[in-house]
Every structure is written in structure tokens, then in C-alpha cells.
Amino acid sequence: MKTSISCFIFFFMGFFFISNIYCEELPEIKELREELEVLKEEIRTLKDEAEVRKTLRLKEVEKVQKKSVEDILKASVQRYTLLKKNHLEIQDTLSYSYYADDEIVTLYDASDEFSGLRIDHSKEHTIVNTVQTTYGMFNNLSIYAALPFIFKYEKSGKKEETDIGDIAFGLQYQPFKGGGEWPETILNWSFKTKTGKSQYEINPETELSTGSGCYSTRIGINASKVIDPVVLFGSVAYTYKFEEDGLHQKQSDDLFLTKVDPGESFSYSIGFGYAMSYKISFTAQFQQSYSHDIAYWINDKERSGYTENTAMLIFGTGIRLSRKTSLYVNVGTGLTKDSSDFVVSLRIPIEYSLD
């Protein structure tokens, strides 16, 4: 048995050795093996190149997708902030202001000679209810009209007056969408009538005025920038007031006011708003207005012009009552002699869709 196994092993090894020698002697088989090795190497190279191309293609797709997402996000924050097209907003604002002052008045006689001084004590309470209607002609253009109802009471002279004030018309225009790197910028223009009881036509001894007594026009620009959760805002404006002549307001026995040039004024405001929650916000702002070249004529003789400087510091809060309605409360204090001592206002805008 052992001899048979040994013979088998010897025979197998001999056969394997002879087969190797025989194969080495065949060049066709050797060449075929070399070609197979080359082919395998080429296939490996093609696979590697395919993987590289796939990786690069995925990166390009990612870039395109990322750019698309960035474009979508950018477009989502770029928007118009005025009243939407064919929407109507009715806004009711109720305000109360108090002004107290002791003013020294220089008196002249009919020959334009100094005749003395008078101290006027004034403690005036004013309540104004303004109804404003705004209509969105386009998403970036709105027009509005405002009608004020005024009640005034002057304690020292026990005078009071209830009448309409000066009706105003205006428009607001947003030239481009805000958001992203651009602030939300709004241009505005308004024209104020003299429908209120003119301060140049009343009897100052027994009556109070509810209007400015002259026509005026105003242009301005408002800008705001969102830096979540804070909104920074500011504005600048220019107001031109038209002259009023042909007046005959009695100042004393022989003196009459015959003409007034209310001059022009420049105003600005800066402030910030803070979103305390989705429904409640807080604002703080500073406002100042400077009027100059104000002149008047007594018995057709011009008096020297004077200036007015008003400044207010205002704090407020906004409460979102619903998707279309909010409540805003502001409290302001005067910082100059020409300003009201303090002002309190309550504003409620309600929006309607006419579609």
C-alpha cells in the first residue's frame, strides 16, 4: 500500500514538472498571459478614472445644489415691505400731548416802537384721533389719506376747541426689494392741506387753533436693516411750508398780523427695535426737527425771523393681536423748549384684502 502511494506522488510531481517545462516552451501561451496582465492593468486604470470622474461630478452637483439653495434663501429674504397690491389698511391713532410754557412776548406800537413786554402762560392739552386709509396700488407703491379730529384745551385761559385738523395725502414707494445685504428703503411724499382752524385767523384771546394755517409738502426717505433679533432704522425729511398773506389777525388795538412765511424744516430720526418674542417688540428712537427762516409781518412790516427746534425721545412697544392686526403704544418726552412736555399715543392698523 505504501509503495502504491509513493508511486502516485512521484508520478504527479513528474507530470507537474513536465507540464511547466512544456508551457514555458510555448511562446503563444506566454504572450497571452502577458496580454492578460496588460488588460487587467488597463481595466484597473479605467476603474480608477471612473471613480475620479464620479467624485468630481458629485462635487459639481453639490456646488449647483448649494448655489440653488443660496439663491432660494436670498430670494426669500428679498421682499417688498409695503402694503401688498390691492390690499387696504385702516389705521386709527389716538394721541395725547401736554405742553406748558411761559413765553416773554415783545410788544410794539403802531409806529413800530417798542412798547413793553408780556409774559404768556400756556398749559395746553391736545387729544388727536387720526384715521388713515392706505391702499396698495402695487407691492412697492402705496397711497394714503389721513383725517385728524382734534380736541384742545388751554387751562390758563379756559379755552377749548373741537374741530378737524389738516387733512393730508401722500404716497410711499419702495424702489427695490429689501433683505440680505440691502436695507429696506422707502421713499415718501406728502401734501398737507389747511383744513384745520388756522392759527393765523383765530382770535388768540378766546380761541384755539386745530391746524397749521398753511399748505406744506414733505419728502423723505426711511431705511431699516434687520440684524436678527434687532432692527435698526432711521429717516431724513425736508418740509416746505407755503407763505400765507392777506391776513388780518388782531394782535393788539393797532397791530395786525398781515403775512407769515413759515419757512422750511429739516428732520431726522434714528432708533432700533427689538423682537422680544413672536408677538411682542420694543422700540426706542430719537426724533429732531429744525425749522428756520420763519418770518411774519405786522402791519405789512417784516419782523426778524426766528427758528424752532423740537426733539423727542420715544419708547414704544408693539403687540401682535392677529395675522392682520397689531397694537402699538408709544410714550415720548420733549427735550427742548419748543417740544411738547410729553406725548402718549395708541395706534391700531387693520389690513384687508380686496382680492
> Cβ neighbours of residue 115 under 8 Å, at least 6 residues apart?
107, 108, 109
Which amino acid, 203?
Answer: N
Q: Are residues 169 and 306 in the same domain?
A: yes
Which secondary-structure segment (H or E) carries 218? strand 216-227
Q: What is the pLDDT of residues 29-75, one digit of tens each?
A: 666 676 677 677 767 766 666 665 555 554 444 444 444 444 444 44
Contact 289, 267 (CB under 8 A): yes
Q: 300's torsion region: left (phi>0), alpha (psi -120 to 50) or beta? A: left
Neighbours of 296 (CB within 10 A): 21
**Are 231 and 102 members of one domain?**
yes
Question: Are 159 and 291 in the same domain?
Answer: yes
Residue 15 is predicted with a pLDDT of 47
pLDDT at 210 over 80: yes
Q: Is residue 74 part of a domain?
A: no
Reply yes or no: is the peptide bond before residue 229 cis, omega within 30 of 0: yes
Q: What is the CATH number of the domain that holds 302?
A: 2.40.128.130
Is residue 301 in a domain?
A: yes
The band of 17, judged by pLDDT with boundaries at 50, 70 and 90, is very low
Scanning 25-112, the segments in alpha helix (DSSP H) are 27-77
Average pLDDT over residues 270-291: 94
| Domain co-membership, 134 together with 176 | yes
Tell me if 216 sits within 8 A of 190, measured CB to CB: no
Pair (274, 233) in one structural domain: yes
Mean of pLDDT values over 285-311: 89
Mean pLDDT of 185-195: 97
Whether the predicted pLDDT of 148 surpasses 70:
yes
Which of the four pLDDT bands, split at 50, 70 and 90, describes residue 151? very high
CA distance 298 to 291: 21
What does pLDDT average to over the chain? 82
Residues 140, 30, single domain; the answer is: no
The answer as to whether 71 is a domain residue is no
Measured distance CA(39)–CA(171) in Å, rounded: 79
pLDDT for res 240: 96
Q: How many CB atoms lie within 10 A of CB 42?
A: 10
pTM over 0.95: no
Q: Quote the pLDDT of residue 38.
A: 66
CB–CB of 304/291 below 8 Å? Answer: no
pLDDT band at 339 (very low <50, low <70, confident <90, very high): very high
Distance (Å, rounded) from C-alpha 201 to C-alpha 247?
7
What confidence score (pLDDT) does residue 303 get? Answer: 81
Domain match, 207 and 263 both: yes
Residue 75 counted as domain residue: no
* Side chain identity at residue 211, one-letter code: G
What is the tally of structural domains in the chain?
A: 2
Spatial distance between the Cα atoms of 291 and 218, rounded to a whole number of angstroms: 13
* % the chain with pLDDT above 90: 54
20 and 93 inside one domain: no
Least confident of 117-121, 144-148, 165-169: 117-121
Answer yes or no: do 337 and 207 share one domain: yes
Higher pLDDT pick, 162 / 111? 162
Q: Which residue has the higher pLDDT, 15 or 162?
A: 162
pLDDT of residue 103: 59
Same domain, 50 and 91: no
pLDDT of residue 142: 97
Question: If DSSP codes are grouped into helix, strand and coil, which group holds residue 353?
Answer: strand
Say yes or no: 172 and 107 in one domain. yes
Does residue 66 fall inside a structural domain?
A: no
Q: Which residues pair with 141 in a beta bridge?
A: 138, 173
Cβ atoms of 315 and 330 closer than 8 Å: yes
**pLDDT for res 78:** 58
In a domain, 70, yes or no: no
Higher pLDDT, 96 or 305: 96
Instruction: Tell me the CA end-to-end span of the chain in Å, nearest whole number.
Output: 108
Which range marks the domain in which residue 261 is found? 81-353
Q: Are 202 and 211 in contact (CB under 8 A)?
A: no
